Structure 1
């Protein structure tokens, strides 16, 4: 079937979304054009507004429509804790745990092969933020990937001379998981990060 140029442009535009291939983009485009034009118009208007109005928080670099996001404006949060994450989605995930400290979003990880260096992910701003009065602990919550671990290690080196507690989120066996189903790398992290249940008697 041959589509008109504008329909093909719509399909190509939808393919910028992660996980959307040619067939999925075709189904989406045809659904909007054939069955839900009001929804398509609403999607287009909302997408345009978001692209124009959503930027980055000046303090933590998460997505925000305001110069300072709601979490950074919240005076009830704990200024002594600064959690370093790779993306705004990670902020959302950690918020589900009840964490009440502050954040700094890197928007990626170090990747010299791809030309992504410390400045590209905001490490100079992070160093400035970590030296603010009141910050006592920096929690490195980058992803448990090779790149995430390398980024956490680099940040730890850069912050090592400051009077801060540097901690790394634990990696290991998922709650409710069975050991026989867990891969060796995850088990190795779990063993390395083990902690005592009962301290030996003095």
Structure 2
């Protein structure tokens, strides 16, 4: 009789230990998702801090390109005011497009391209864009692990029971997914 009780107690301890482990794993993954998203925020803020300096530098050389400068400023404000992952992603994509237009305009101004301040800002923005891309990739990797834990048996039972919700991936806009047409 006592052997049966010991076996039952051991099984109960193993089950409880497994549940605690799965729960802690879900919490850890959810926190990694939040942390990785905040790393994207850090890089977006860094880029947003660089943009006013870039716009001011370009203004001095390309004052008649007012529409482009306003678009960059408007897109920057959109990123700063976005709150959800979807809003940040959309606003960030709009800002990236506006910056591409700004750099294309800068190509028409040799003096601007030669300006050391502009070159430094352009290099810093390029480095920041690389960091943003890496942060997005890391975020998506963490979201994948977390979402897998929320969907796979048996942790999906605990995820539903304790209200763990799947997270959204950071996705590129459809315009950037299209294959570019190259002509010679």
Judging by fraction of residues, say which structure has more helix: 2
Judging by fraction of residues, say which structure has more strand: 1
Compare CA radii of gyration and give the structure with the larger one: 2
What's the TM-score, normalizing by structure 2?
Answer: 0.23
